[in-house]
Amino acid sequence: MLLVLIIALPFAGSALAALVRSNNRNTEAWLAGSIAVAEIVLLSVLRPAVMGGGVLRAELAWLPSAGLDFVVRLDGFAWLFAMLVAGIGLLVVVYARYYMSPADPIPRFFSFFLAFMGAMLGIVVSGNLIQLVFFWELTSLLSFLLIGFWHQRADAREGARVALTVTAAGGLCLFAGILLIGHIAGSYDLDQVLASGSVIRSSPLYLPALVLVLLGALTKSAQFPFHFWLPRAMAAPTPVSAYLHSATMVKAGVFLLVRLWPVLAGTDYWLWFVGTTGLITFVFGAYYAMFQQDLKGLLAYSTVSHLGLITLLLGLDSPLALLAAIFHIVNHATFKASLFMAAGIIDHETGTRDLRRLSGLYRFMPITATLAMVAAAAMAGVPLLNGFLSKEMFFAETIATHDGSFVDAALPYVATLAGIFGVVYSLRFILGVFFGPAPRDLPRPPHEPPRWMRFPIEALVLICVVVGVIPAMTIKPFLTTAARSILGEATPSYSLGIWHGFTLPLLMSVVAIAGGVAFYFLGRRRLAVAPDGPPVIRLLAKQRIFERAIVMLSWRWAKTLEEAFGTNRLQPQMRLLICTAFLAAFFPVYVQGAWPGSLGPSSIDPAFALVWAGGVVCAIGAAYQAKYHRLAALILMGGAGLATCITFVLLAAPDLALTQLVVEAVTTVLIVLGLRWLPKRLEAIPGDFSNAARLRRMRDLVIAVAAGGGLALLAYAMMTRPYPAGGIAGYFLQHAYAEGGGTNVVNVILVDFRGFDTLGEITVLGIVALSVFALLRRFRPASDNLEGPEQQHFQDIYDRAHPDRHEGSTLTDYLAVPAVLMKLLFPIIGIAGIYLFLRGHDQPGGGFVAGLTMAVAILVQYMAGGARWVEARLRVHPLRWMGFGLLFAVSAGVIALFSGQSFLTALPANVTLPWLGTLPLGTVLLFDFGVLALVLGATVLMLIALAHQSLRRIKNPAKAPAHETEVA
């Protein structure tokens, strides 16, 4: 449980920090600080268990079905790293308390900061690789928010975006690599993956997995050529740089390389990829750093260089180099964090970070200057400081032979050269800022920072010195445990002494320091006035390659593609959709063959053939007539629908036939109501008969014939094949009565077996009805539809011409006899609906068709008497019907919950009533009644809303073409 707290605490603190309302720096800092202290205490409590070489594990079930558990795993290495994250986190919190201005949104800062700490600790103590990737991406995301903290500044937004693009893209590569590793090892559990190192290395997927994981790790650790995001991230507030870009986030990459070292290292690929990248980054980072004029830019490139050193050590593939890498991770974190803080103080107290403007600050801030000098000396590798020790180990490793190649032989010289560069930029930092003549026209008069703002630097510098002087008594036990948790029995014995006698590494150190000093004094005049960035490469950087690439990818190419393939027009889209669907169906059929199956065709029923002879003519006629003769097309479409309906009757689907028949009627009424609002289209007006148009139509005809023919072939092939065994149909037929209590299996499926689907379906129906209603409330007809229909116009003229009639008489008389009959039909159709509803569970019928039938009963009244006549006599409340319908359906499900069953379980209750006989009044009936009510309400709502449009007095009709303001 304590283990889970390691991750949970910072996130809880983050949520809490966001909730603090006032912009109180003290409250926030105390909160964040106590979280960091709690982490340190927690880790100290867990220390004894880890120091013995033990591994602590805690598991929480996450997705056990997919073999994924939330695993917290703490070993010596994770402990050391977690301590680093928590310890430096605490110091940065103290520093940030003074650095951040009260004008900044403090709760946001500390909330992000703590969440980042949690994500970082999540990476460190993850015992599951998927979980590790999750926290990995979380750090990318939070670093985006932290770098862009001053989002009003363009450079902060830019830096944040670049950092996120690079590290999150790397994270995706890492995810892919981890999936490959998990696939090879058969598990994502870290312990199991670590145990299957040899299997992974000998797998053919090793190389892609390695490359992908390295892409993730090297982008995160800002290795060449992905280093460019780190200098840009310097737009972040300095506490963020001190935390993320020295101690934690950029170390996640090398952390992962160490973590997976037993699995991935030990091959030539590893040596070449990791070693080469590390070497290039180490040298170039140091070279770049020398020419920086921005204090934080110098530190950023030096961080790039030091990360390259660590990567190079890991690439050298020897246990001792690994140990040196871990050691340097810790050392670099301490001296670099303190240097960042010092740079922040200088910036804070003078108002500039430009090395060309700063000088002679020693006389104004002697304590800070001294601290920075010590830390910079550690960075340069001066003896008696921690940086010297790990650099010495590094030099020793470069001398040792690895693969005997040319690069291997050149390694010590290259390392010494980079060492010289390191001394130069350290000297620039110190001598350039603190010594020399007093600065002129600084934005602010420089002075020492507040006491506690300096405290974190003092603590870190103290560590640098103590570790540098008595390493064996301070860092060695932790280092040994950390190395043992990676290397196991292969952990080498080593001595962490300051003095090893006159050795080659010592000579390299001396050469580096002496060379660096000489180099600095030779070139300092030129450096002091040079523009920002190294010569020649500076011009390359001005090209802004990354931005160009991003613009190219996300804008130019995208635009070209969109212009080539995109369209706002519907017809090409439909064509593309249909062709894609056709091809998607075509290929599997082409591969498998879609020839008639083994079943012989059944004998042809002449009636059926006749029905479809008519149906086919109707369908083609509808397609032909839909442009000019809308009513004819509608009638023909109804004919095709009727043929479909008869098919259902003949092929033993009475429920479908009933539903289709009623829907057919309702749809026809609906479209007829809509016809009134469409523009006149006369055949007399010539259409487009150009060759291009003919060609277009021919192409569409070919597509339509091909798709229709293909579907016919597919249908025939399917129908002549035997029914596949093992479907669910047999189960439904068998259990419909025994478990569903009904004999109409289709209805039992709808209201019982698949009741949840039906509930979703009627909800959709309700939403559609409401959308239709809402759209029609805002409906503005086009100007040419404002007048009544032509027919009505002539009727009115006729009525006016006869003194015994008044306007509207003809309309009232129209179909007078059928209208009387239709009015009389109301109770009959209504009772038919109730009948269909009640028998539905056992005989063809049910809520859907009953609801539609009752809707038809009401519609017939509207057709016979007109809307005003009906609404004067009958109060229809479609919205209430819909609401209660949904309520009934849901309550039928909830009742089952009360009796301890799962949602929507059918509870039977047969009730015997006089005259009516035994009725199955279980929850099923309640549910089906809900379906009925909703279908009735929705249908009536849509049709009445449409019918009412003719009665509305349009106040400000839309002009054609309308402008957008009139949409409202």
Partner 1 sequence: MEIILAIAIGVLAGSGIWLVMRPRTYQVIIGLSLLSYAVNLFIFSTGRLGPRAAPVVRAGEAGDLLRYVDPVPQALVLTAIVIGFAVTALFLVVLLASRGLTGTDHVDGQEPEA
Binding residues for partner 1 restricted to 118-177, rule: CB under 8 A? none
Q: Which is nearer to partner 1, 281 or 939 (CB)?
A: 939
Alpha-carbon gap, residue 942 to 667, rounded angstroms: 11
Q: Which is nearer to partner 1, 190 or 594 (CB)?
A: 594
And the tokens for 838? Answer: 């009640």
**Runs of H (alpha helix) within 816-846:** 816-839
Q: Which is nearer to partner 1, 385 or 637 (CB)?
A: 637
Label residue 591 exposed, middle or buried (CB < 10 Å: 0-12, 13-18, 19+). exposed
User: With binding defined as CB under 8 A, does residue 633 bind partner 1?
Assistant: yes
Q: Which is nearer to partner 1, 491 or 939 (CB)?
A: 939
Question: What is the closest distance, in whole angstroms, from the C-beta atom of residue 719 to partner 1 in the complex?
Answer: 4
**Runs of H (alpha helix) within 566-690:** 570-592, 606-625, 630-650, 654-675
Question: What is the closest distance, in whole angstroms, from the C-beta atom of residue 939 to partner 1 in the complex?
Answer: 8
Q: Which of residues 299-358 bind partner 1 (CB under 8 A)?
A: none
User: With binding defined as CB under 8 A, does residue 605 bind partner 1?
Assistant: yes
User: With binding defined as CB under 8 A, does residue 950 bind partner 1?
Assistant: no
Per-residue HEC secondary structure of 769-813 comes to HHHHHHHHHCCCCCHHHCCCCHHHHHHHHHHHHCCCCCCCHHHHH
Question: What is the closest distance, in whole angstroms, from the C-beta atom of residue 176 to partner 1 in the complex?
Answer: 38
Q: Which stretch binds partner 1 (CB under 8 A): 61-69, 227-235, 538-546, 738-746?
A: 738-746
Q: Which stretch binds partner 1 (CB under 8 A): 81-89, 99-107, 134-142, 637-645?
A: 637-645
Q: Which of residues 273-302 bind partner 1 (CB under 8 A)?
A: none
Q: Which stretch binds partner 1 (CB under 8 A): 101-109, 545-553, 743-751, 899-907?
A: 743-751
Residue choice 197, 266, 319, 654 for contact with partner 1 (CB under 8 A): 654
User: With binding defined as CB under 8 A, does residue 629 bind partner 1?
Assistant: no
Question: What is the closest distance, in whole angstroms, from the C-beta atom of residue 763 to partner 1 in the complex?
Answer: 11
User: With binding defined as CB under 8 A, does residue 38 bind partner 1?
Assistant: no
Residue choice 609, 692, 801, 968 for contact with partner 1 (CB under 8 A): 609
Q: Which stretch binds partner 1 (CB under 8 A): 58-66, 498-506, 609-617, 862-870?
A: 609-617
Alpha-carbon gap, residue 500 to 303, rounded angstroms: 28
Question: What is the closest distance, in whole angstroms, from the C-beta atom of residue 894 to partner 1 in the complex?
Answer: 22
Size of the site for partner 1 (CB under 8 A): 122
Label residue 346 exposed, middle or buried (CB < 10 Å: 0-12, 13-18, 19+). buried
Residue located via tokens 């083994």: 598
Question: What is the closest distance, in whole angstroms, from the C-beta atom of residue 18 to partner 1 in the complex?
Answer: 42
Cβ-proximal residues to 509 (8 Å cutoff; 6+ apart), any chain = 381, 383, 388, 391, 392, 395, 419
Phi, psi angles (nearest 5°) of residue 853: -60, -45
Give the 3-state secondary structure of residue 317. coil
The b/e string for 176-200 (b: 16+ C-beta within 10 A; e otherwise) is bbbbbbbebbebbbbeebbebbeeb
Q: Which stretch binds partner 1 (CB under 8 A): 119-127, 272-280, 740-748, 911-919?
A: 740-748
Residue choice 644, 853, 861, 923 for contact with partner 1 (CB under 8 A): 644
And the tokens for 517? Answer: 């000093």
Strands (E), 99-173: none
Residue choice 734, 791, 812, 910 for contact with partner 1 (CB under 8 A): 734
User: With binding defined as CB under 8 A, does residue 512 bind partner 1?
Assistant: no
* Contact indicator for 402, 318 with CB cutoff of 8 Å: yes
Q: Which is nearer to partner 1, 267 or 647 (CB)?
A: 647
Alpha-carbon gap, residue 411 to 17, rounded angstroms: 49
User: With binding defined as CB under 8 A, does residue 552 bind partner 1?
Assistant: no
Question: What is the closest distance, in whole angstroms, from the C-beta atom of residue 707 to partner 1 in the complex?
Answer: 5
Half-sphere exposure in the Cβ direction for 665 (13 Å, CA): 16
User: With binding defined as CB under 8 A, does residue 967 bind partner 1?
Assistant: yes
Q: Which is nearer to partner 1, 197 or 596 (CB)?
A: 596
* Contact indicator for 63, 24 with CB cutoff of 8 Å: no
* Contact indicator for 423, 376 with CB cutoff of 8 Å: no
Cβ-proximal residues to 532 (8 Å cutoff; 6+ apart), any chain = 291, 292, 293, 294, 297, 538
And the tokens for 392? Answer: 């010495």
Q: Which of residues 658-697 bind partner 1 (CB under 8 A)?
A: 659-660, 663, 666-667, 670-671, 674, 677-679, 681
Question: What is the closest distance, in whole angstroms, from the C-beta atom of residue 956 to partner 1 in the complex?
Answer: 12
Alpha-carbon gap, residue 758 to 750, rounded angstroms: 6
Q: Which of residues 777-836 bind partner 1 (CB under 8 A)?
A: 778-783, 785
Per-residue HEC secondary structure of 28-62 comes to HHHHHHHHHHHHHHHHHHHHHHHHCCCCEEEEEEE
Question: What is the closest distance, in whole angstroms, from the C-beta atom of residue 24 to partner 1 in the complex?
Answer: 54
Question: What is the closest distance, in whole angstroms, from the C-beta atom of residue 888 to partner 1 in the complex?
Answer: 17
For the window 744-783, what string marks contact with partner 1 as x by the rule CB under 8 A?
Answer: xxx--xx---x--xx--x--xx--xx-xx--xx-xxxxxx
What are the CA-CA distances from residue 215 to residues 170, 224, 576 (Å)? 6, 11, 38
Question: What is the closest distance, in whole angstroms, from the C-beta atom of residue 598 to partner 1 in the complex?
Answer: 13
Q: Which is nearer to partner 1, 495 or 602 (CB)?
A: 602
Q: Which of residues 883-942 bind partner 1 (CB under 8 A)?
A: 935, 938-939, 942
Give the 3-state secondary structure of residue 528. helix
Residue choice 529, 604, 692, 968 for contact with partner 1 (CB under 8 A): 604
User: With binding defined as CB under 8 A, does residue 553 bind partner 1?
Assistant: no
Alpha-carbon gap, residue 698 to 748, rounded angstroms: 48
Question: What is the closest distance, in whole angstroms, from the C-beta atom of residue 868 to partner 1 in the complex?
Answer: 22
Q: Which is nearer to partner 1, 412 or 615 (CB)?
A: 615
Q: Which of residues 703-732 bind partner 1 (CB under 8 A)?
A: 703-705, 707-713, 715-716, 718-720, 723, 727-730, 732
Residue located via tokens 């932290």: 146
Q: Which is nearer to partner 1, 405 or 573 (CB)?
A: 573
Question: What is the closest distance, in whole angstroms, from the C-beta atom of residue 640 to partner 1 in the complex?
Answer: 6
Cβ-proximal residues to 745 (8 Å cutoff; 6+ apart), any chain = 732, 733, 736
Give the 3-state secondary structure of residue 911. strand
Q: How many CB atoms lie within 10 A of CB 638?
A: 18
* Contact indicator for 178, 259 with CB cutoff of 8 Å: no
User: With binding defined as CB under 8 A, does residue 29 bind partner 1?
Assistant: no
Label residue 340 exposed, middle or buried (CB < 10 Å: 0-12, 13-18, 19+). buried
Question: What is the closest distance, in whole angstroms, from the C-beta atom of residue 859 to partner 1 in the complex?
Answer: 13
Of 645, 613, 618, 647, whose CA–CA distance to 634 is shortest? 618
Question: What is the closest distance, in whole angstroms, from the C-beta atom of residue 742 to partner 1 in the complex?
Answer: 9
Residue choice 603, 912, 956, 965 for contact with partner 1 (CB under 8 A): 603
Residue choice 66, 529, 738, 816 for contact with partner 1 (CB under 8 A): 738
User: With binding defined as CB under 8 A, does residue 698 bind partner 1?
Assistant: no
For the window 843-882, what string marks contact with partner 1 as x by the rule CB under 8 A?
Answer: xx---x---x------------------------------
Residue located via tokens 């695993």: 71
User: With binding defined as CB under 8 A, does residue 578 bind partner 1?
Assistant: yes
Q: Which is nearer to partner 1, 518 or 574 (CB)?
A: 574
